[in-house]
């Protein structure tokens, strides 16, 4: 049964990671025209960096490690799934737009955020689909557990 619970944890970590990614993308879209931030320059696009979580060893390798005393049972399968490694800023250059009436203009040009709406919408659709896939996997795992528990009746 712990294998199924681990599968639910993997789906749950994916849900959490994709939710954060959608939040960051929404923030990028909200700041597409922000030419002045608290740090003084235009808004810089942010991206979520994901990495594999926990150990990715097979059940046989886990049993071997446990038998050799290298790892304890409590440490097996912990933090499996995906983890957020961090949120980084996109280093791509800012766009220059000619607008001499803008108070942030230098020599008539305003530095605009390096946010591309098309890229953000594509990333949002991808994150949304990944979120939906994790919901489906979570629900399927939950139903399998319920069905397995029903076999004992």
- Residue 122 pLDDT > 80: yes
User: Which residue from 55, 52, 50 is spatially nearest to 78, judged by alpha carbons?
Assistant: 55
C-alpha–C-alpha distance, residues 116 and 148, integer Å: 48
Give the least confident one: 9-13, 26-30, 91-95.
Answer: 9-13
Q: Provide the pLDDT for residue 119.
A: 96
* Tens digits of residue pLDDT in 7-25: 888 889 999 999 999 999 9
- Residue 125 pLDDT > 90: yes
- Residue 99 pLDDT > 50: yes
Measured between its terminal Cα atoms, the distance across the chain in Å is: 17
Mean pLDDT of the region 74-92: 78
C-alpha–C-alpha distance, residues 116 and 85, integer Å: 23
H/E segment holding residue 95: strand 95-98
Mean pLDDT of the region 73-92: 77
Q: In DSSP terms, which residues pair with 109 in a beta bridge?
A: 98, 106
* Tens digits of residue pLDDT in 37-63: 998 899 999 999 999 886 555 566 666
Q: Provide the pLDDT for residue 150.
A: 84
Angle between helices 2-30 and 117-150 (to 10 degrees): 160
């Amino acid at each position: 049964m712990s294998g199924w619970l681990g599968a639910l944890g993997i789906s749950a970590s994916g849900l959490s990671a994709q939710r954060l990614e959608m939040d960051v993308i929404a923030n990028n879209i909200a700041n597409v025209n922000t030419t002045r931030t608290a740090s003084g320059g235009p808004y810089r696009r942010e991206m979520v960096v994901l990495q594999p979580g926990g150990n990715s060893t097979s059940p046989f390798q886990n049993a071997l490690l446990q038998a050799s005393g290298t790892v304890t049972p409590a440490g097996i399968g912990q933090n499996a799934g995906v983890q957020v490694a961090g949120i980084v800023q996109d280093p791509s250059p800012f766009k220059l737009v000619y607008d001499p009436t803008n108070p942030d203009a230098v020599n008539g040009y305003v530095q605009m955020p390096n946010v591309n709406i098309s890229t953000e919408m594509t990333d949002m659709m991808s994150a949304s689909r990944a979120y939906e896939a994790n919901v489906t996997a979570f629900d399927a795992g939950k139903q399998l557990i319920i069905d397995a528990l029903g076999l004992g009746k």
